[in-house]
């Protein structure tokens, strides 16, 4: 008798499920699908199936440079560490001191991520985070930076990023101020402890299959969407101020080993018809890379333009892009913004339009910083997710900034849109062809294009030119990134 009851119950469930399947659905105003069960007064509501999203979005955020000793109303002369005795002196603002030789209060990072969480968190697919979280060594006499400071500041920023982007992939890389001593990092034989520290710190984001690779050199690859990957490079191995590694031509050099690894990943991606974004801290240029490293990196980037859909770098704090066509680009070692802008202008003028014969053009996007060298700034990129043949194609970005001159007198801060690439530069997308057309438009000798170049120059420094030095090096008295 019990078996008969069980069978009857089973067949009644089958009937109900079958009835739900054939029942005619009705869409309610609150977004649920309502099913009427036939021959019954019962109804059941299911959430409506989510619509396929039109675009993907990701965040590029960089160069936080947090300083736990930063004090509001401290003197600028003390690197914003000592409160002024007389308020007539130039003093530190609540959220930062744009254009001054001070790092950022931790609260600036908190407020920034709070705003991003409120406005963008539910739309982001992943986050590119390109390093320099630790403070500079500007207050050497009274508060010299130590290894524990570098590690502690990175630990604190990582905790904040984890708390903000709980279920969103974050792709970190370390900058020249995240290693100790400053600018110096060798291979695992010399700096295994440092690589182990970051391998453990970022364990949540580094795929299990990539952890041994990271501990060998501080670089890794992660899948962010189906058939779409991001590679995080350790650009410190290419940096010409890093004396702990040899050039990229020597087979035993960590720099050479990393480039060989990069080429293997790109080759495998090509075989799978996958697409790649390449990220890192120091952007490739003759100013910052060893000659051997720059030439090899550019050869690889040129060989895989069908695979690499974007290069995302930081370090220089200025909003700009670099464009290479395989020619040797000479750049002055001056740290002057005007000189650097003049070099960019010459670079854009010299680029050839030959997209077919090798080497093809390579565009390097350089993002501005949260550190208020100018105003705190970050980017939200839009990319293609629906069309298989255009997967990962960059459609544009929106750049946001916070006017600290205004918000330093408030108990919180907000960000606002600075510009979009579509509205400011009329770029249909962020393809190499679009960047080429923008570069050439800015250097054409007519009044309209001169206005475009002036607009571009304004965006480079976010309208807050307070000094002329832009280099990220605290070994001397220069302003750094």
pLDDT at res. 47: 58
Residue 333 — pLDDT band, cuts 50, 70, 90? Answer: very low
Closest CA to 59 of 112, 120, 132: 120
**For residue 165, what are the CA distances in angstroms to 106, 123, 331, 457?**
17, 12, 39, 33
Comparison of pLDDT for 338 and 16, the residue scoring more? 338
pLDDT at res. 403: 95
Mean pLDDT of 115-127: 98
Largest Cα separation within the chain, whole Å, is 95
Residue 38 — pLDDT band, cuts 50, 70, 90? Answer: low
Residue 439 — pLDDT band, cuts 50, 70, 90? Answer: confident
Comparison of pLDDT for 480 and 131, the residue scoring more? 131
Residue 449 — pLDDT band, cuts 50, 70, 90? Answer: low
Residue 348 — pLDDT band, cuts 50, 70, 90? Answer: confident
Look-up of token digits 């974050």? 170
At residue 46, does pLDDT exceed 50? yes
At residue 27, does pLDDT exceed 90? no
Mean pLDDT of 213-227: 97
Average pLDDT, the chain: 86
Contact yes or no for 296/362 (Cβ under 8 A) = no
Residue 354 — pLDDT band, cuts 50, 70, 90? Answer: low
- Measured CA angle at 104 (ends 99, 110), to 5 deg: 135
Strands 32-36 and 25-27: antiparallel
Strands 320-324 and 362-366: antiparallel
Q: Order of strands, edge to edge, in the sheet holding 43-47?
A: 25-27, 32-36, 43-47
pLDDT at res. 88: 63
Mean pLDDT of 395-424: 96
Range(s) within the chain of domains with CATH label 3.60.21: 56-461
Contact yes or no for 112/415 (Cβ under 8 A) = yes
Q: What percent of the chain has pLDDT over 70?
A: 80
Burial class of residue 467 in the structure, from the number of CB atoms within 10 Å of its CB (0-12 exposed, 13-18 middle, 19+ buried)? middle
| Cα 367 to Cα 127: distance, rounded to the nearest angstrom | 13
The CATH class, in words, for 56-461 is alpha beta
């Amino acid at each position: 008798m019990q078996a008969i009851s069980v069978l009857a119950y089973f067949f009644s469930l089958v009937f109900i499920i079958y009835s739900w399947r054939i029942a005619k659905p009705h869409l309610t105003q609150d977004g649920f699908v309502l099913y009427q069960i036939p021959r019954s007064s019962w109804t059941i509501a299911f959430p409506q199936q989510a619509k396929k999203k039109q675009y993907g979005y990701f965040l590029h955020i960089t160069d936080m440079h947090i300083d736990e000793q930063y004090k509001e109303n401290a003197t600028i002369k003390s690197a914003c560490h000592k409160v002024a005795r007389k308020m007539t002196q130039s003093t530190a603002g609540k959220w930062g001191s744009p254009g001054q030789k001070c790092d950022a209060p931790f609260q600036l990072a908190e407020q920034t991520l709070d705003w991003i969480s409120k406005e963008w968190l539910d739309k982001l697919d992943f986050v590119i985070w390109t390093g320099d979280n630790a403070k500079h060594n500007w207050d050497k006499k009274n508060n010299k930076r130590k290894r524990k400071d570098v590690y502690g500041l990175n630990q604190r920023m990582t905790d904040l990023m984890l708390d903000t982007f709980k279920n969103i992939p974050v792709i970190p890389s370390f900058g020249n101020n995240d290693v100790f001593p400053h600018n110096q990092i060798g291979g695992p034989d010399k700096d295994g402890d440092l690589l182990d520290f970051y391998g453990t710190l970022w364990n949540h984001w580094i795929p299990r299959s990539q952890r041994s690779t990271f501990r060998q050199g501080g670089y890794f690859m992660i899948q962010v969407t189906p058939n779409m990957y991001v590679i995080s490079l350790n650009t410190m191995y290419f940096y010409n101020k890093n004396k702990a590694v040899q050039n990229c031509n020597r087979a035993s050099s960590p720099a050479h080993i990393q480039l060989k690894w990069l080429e293997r990943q790109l080759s495998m991606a090509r075989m799978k018809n996958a697409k790649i974004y390449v990220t890192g801290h120091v952007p490739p240029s003759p100013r910052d890379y060893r000659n051997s490293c720059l030439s090899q990196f550019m050869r690889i980037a040129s060989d895989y333009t069908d695979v690499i859909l974007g290069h995302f770098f930081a370090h220089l704090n200025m909003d700009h892009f670099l464009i290479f066509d395989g020619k040797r680009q000479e750049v002055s070692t001056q740290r002057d913004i005007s000189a650097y802008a003049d070099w960019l202008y010459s670079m854009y003028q010299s680029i050839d339009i030959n997209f077919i014969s090798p080497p093809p053009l390579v565009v390097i996007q350089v993002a501005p910083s949260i550190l208020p060298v100018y105003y705190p700034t970050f980017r939200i990129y839009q990319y293609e997710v629906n069309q298989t043949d255009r997967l990962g194609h960059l459609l544009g970005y929106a750049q946001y900034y916070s006017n600290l001159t205004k918000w330093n007198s408030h108990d919180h801060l907000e960000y606002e849109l600075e510009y979009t690439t579509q509205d400011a530069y009329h770029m249909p997308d962020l393809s190499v062809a679009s960047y080429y057309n923008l570069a050439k438009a800015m250097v054409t000798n007519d009044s309209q294009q001169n206005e475009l170049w002036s607009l571009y120059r304004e965006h480079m420094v976010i309208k807050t030119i307070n000094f002329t030095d832009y280099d990220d090096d605290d070994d001397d008295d220069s302003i750094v990134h």
